[in-house]
A and B are shown apart, each in its own frame.
Chain A
Amino acid sequence: MVFTKRPDGRKFEETRPIEAKVGIIKRADGSAYFKIGDTIAYAAVYGPRELYPKFLQDPSKGVLRCRYNMMPFSGAGERVRPGQSRRSREISLVTERALLPAMNLEEFPNAVVDVFIELPQTDAGTRCAGICAASMALADAGIAMKDMVAAVSCGKVDDKVLIDLNYAEESYEDGPVADIPVAMMPRTEKITLLQMDGEISKEEIMKALEMTKKVCKDIYEIQKSALKKKFQVGETNESGA
């Protein structure tokens, strides 16, 4: 087989370099930045706030509303038509479903929590980067959650099972490719998002998911330290003024 080395020289079970920050959008109730390789995601959370039109309200619990958007100049600059597309609506929906199992919205009946994800620069793995950023932003907004959500893609290029495909690998033409975005709650190891593009055998997918489990825990540690860093400037003084 021809694919023996990754284009950027990574190991097969290695992610691209990750950077995470919390609290970058001042007006938002919670916000985060998540960069994995050349993919950059910003997430802003507003709420809980009143939900209108009224028929969208749920009297038993709060509603989560996500909006995923790639900026017109992101990727190779071919998404020149701004706004929602078929693809971004689908990803908004799966993002919402990936985050919901970790959330505890019973505290806010009839209200809504809005999550906005914007991607100024993309190089594959956007929905995973978006979910990572959104989960950090939700925690930053002080919303009750059972767990964080960490996400990464795994898959297969030619005959190699690997983690975190970039665009060059995703569009590899000389062999079969499978791209599988996975989101996971790291503490319970429950999977909240699993999609696939391409084809892969049962043995390979099990191997890929095993690798993803380990990587998601590493991403969780990065999210955790980013959240803690926001509040660890100097000594805490919460016991009294």
Chain B
Amino acid sequence: MGELLVKDKEVVVPGEILSVGMDYLPATGTFREGENIIASKLGLASIDGRLIKLIPLSGKYLPKPRDIIIGKVIDLTFTGWRVDLNSAYTALLSVKDATSDFVSRGADLTRYYNLGDYMMAKIINVTSQNLVDLTLKGPGLRKLGEGRIIYVAPNKVPRIIGKQGSMVMMIKDYTKCQILVGQNGVVWISGQPMGEVVAVNAIRKIEAESHMAGLTERMKAFLESQKVG
């Protein structure tokens, strides 16, 4: 009979034994060694039936196919653009995935995206060597105009978005800003300057306090106190 050594949602450290016996199965962030299931990262142990997985509490963004990210153009190549992902790896956006226009060979690519432009894009493919391909074909994927960019911890992104987007909707309503959150921890905010400042502060507050209970209520109170006009 297998034995569980940790509680659900308990903080565990790398190398910590989570369970003994073959009744449990290792999922993401854990591995099996002999009879034991062991944590491979710092995070929260999450027990779902027989599966034990690990929700990481820190770490850099690792590109995953189908993620919607906000990237920055850092270089131009023969066939497209090189895009920074706020990660250890950069992505390549080819002309074919960027526009449906006909672009002749050797055309000036800066007409579409110039160095320093930000864009909301989708990751199509990630290879074993973490070479990343992007596309801009899809609903809501576009070049981002005026606004401000902030960087947050990628593992806090689900907290900023909230359930079915509830948290980001609330911030949008109170600050009258447009907000886009990339899975890679890059956030684009555009609106009136005062609203933008409140939105930045709100997101920073979520980042700092997301592990404490009653986040939604506290955020509501915070936004109410900062209300513009």
Q: Interface residues, chain A, CB within 8 Å of chain B? A: 29-30, 47-50, 59, 102, 104, 107-111, 139-148, 185-187, 223-224, 227-228, 231-241
Contacts and interface: CB of A to CB of B under 8 A. Distances in A.
A185 B58 CA distance: 22
A109 B212 contact: no
Nearest to B58: A142
Given A148-B14, A231-B11, A107 B62 contact: yes
Contact of A59 (B13, B57, B129): B129
Interface string B154-192: 010011001100110000000000000000000000000
B52 to A, nearest CB: 15
A108 B59 CA distance: 12
Given A109-B128, A237-B213, A239-B9, A140 B15 contact: no
A219 to B, nearest CB: 13
Contact of A145 (B14, B58, B130): B14
A132 to B, nearest CB: 13
A236 B213 CA distance: 6
B59 A143 contact: yes
Contacts, number: 122
Interface of B: 9, 11, 13-17, 29, 31, 38, 40-44, 55-60, 62, 88-90, 128-130, 155, 158-159, 162-163, 166-167, 206, 210-216
Contact of A144 (B40, B212, B214): B40
B163 A185 contact: no
Given A47-B60, A110-B130, A142-B58, A224 B211 contact: no
Contact of B129 (A30, A109, A234): A109
A142 B41 contact: yes
Given A29-B58, A48-B60, A228-B13, A240 B163 contact: yes
B212 A227 contact: no
A232 B213 CA distance: 12
